[in-house]
Amino acid sequence: MKLTSGQRLVMIGDSITDCERRFPHGEGLFQGVGKGYVALVDTLLQTAYPELSIRVTNMGIGGNTVRDLEKRWQTDVLELAPDWLSIMIGINDVWRQFDQPTIPESHVPLEEYETKLERLARSVPAGLKGLVIMTPFYIEPNAADGMRRRMDEYGLAARRVAERVGALFVDTQAAFAPLLEHVHPTALASDRVHPNWTGHMLIARAFLRAIGFDWARMQ
């Protein structure tokens, strides 16, 4: 596993990351890390690797776009001095183009998204040991669907950024594909964006695979 003893993992993003986490810092007792994939990542790390005492901090905020992450990067990332950092952003950057089509100032164009994401990925704390970039997603198996097609464009932008900065890459959209061969999207998320525990487990599993989690330790 890529994380080592005593390291801090900060996970930043939007509502998918947030999931009712504690403020100002999402960590600690009584579901301080929230009720989503971050909580599952934390639980599995603590269960499989108790000797490492890995500290997981959830810094997601619902409704955020890459613009919002840029505004709070200093306080919510740099000042926390993480050893590892994961970024999952882009859903609202795309969604506002569809649920607020007449409010263009709320839309984040693809070029701006990619530019800002790369700028953030390069503005990491000194001594950062690892960076993980996760794609945005839309829980829809039809790749020709308008919002799914647009989300895939932003996912490809996230992949390009990860390649350019040398980050680990997690394709969360692809993580949903096997299950969507058997169930309707609304079985995972009524709005096809905010997943239930099954959806969050798919995201957590994809992240853990990227960092080399040894599933044999769960036996």
Q: What is the pLDDT of residues 136-193, one digit of tens each?
A: 999 999 999 999 999 999 999 999 999 999 999 999 999 999 999 999 999 999 999 9
pLDDT above 90: percentage of residues in the chain: 97
CA nearest neighbour of 139 among 205, 182, 190, 204: 190
CA distance 201 to 208: 10
pLDDT above 70: percentage of residues in the chain: 100
- 3 assigned to some structural domain: no
pLDDT at position 38 is 98
CA distance 94 to 205: 24
The answer to whether residue 126 scores a pLDDT higher than 90 is no
pLDDT at position 17 is 98
CA nearest neighbour of 2 among 52, 38, 37: 52
Active site residues: 15, 191, 194
CA distance 201 to 199: 5
The answer to whether residue 125 scores a pLDDT higher than 90 is no
Q: What is the mean pLDDT of residues 15-22?
A: 98
Phi, psi of 8 (to 5 degrees): -110, 130
Number of domains making up the chain: 1
CA distance 171 to 159: 8
Q: What predicted TM-score, i.e. pTM, was given to this entire model? A: 0.96
- 14 assigned to some structural domain: yes
Residue with tokens 């050893």: 83
The answer to whether residue 63 scores a pLDDT higher than 90 is yes
- 209 assigned to some structural domain: yes
CA nearest neighbour of 90 among 152, 38, 145, 139: 152
Provide CB contacts within 8 A for 120, sequence distance 6+: 66, 69, 70, 73, 77, 87
- 40 assigned to some structural domain: yes
Confidence of residue 131 (pLDDT cuts 50, 70, 90): very high
- Give the CB-side neighbour count of residue 139, counting CA atoms within 13 A: 23
- 2 assigned to some structural domain: no
The answer to whether residue 73 scores a pLDDT higher than 90 is yes
Element at 62 (helix H, strand E) = none
- 175 assigned to some structural domain: yes
Q: For residues 45, 46, 50 and 51, what is the CA-based torsion angle, rounded to 10 degrees?
A: 60
- 133 assigned to some structural domain: yes
State the residue range of the domain holding 137.
8-218
pLDDT at position 168 is 98
pLDDT at position 32 is 97
The answer to whether residue 219 scores a pLDDT higher than 90 is no
Q: 186-191 long-range CB contacts below 8 Å, 24 or more apart?
A: 188/139, 189/139
pLDDT at position 110 is 98
Could you tell me the CATH number of the domain that includes residue 19? 3.40.50.1110
- 185 assigned to some structural domain: yes
The answer to whether residue 14 scores a pLDDT higher than 90 is yes
The answer to whether residue 218 scores a pLDDT higher than 90 is no
Q: Quick one: how far is CA 8 from the chain centroid?
A: 16
pLDDT in tens, 76-109: 999 999 999 999 999 999 999 999 999 999 999 9
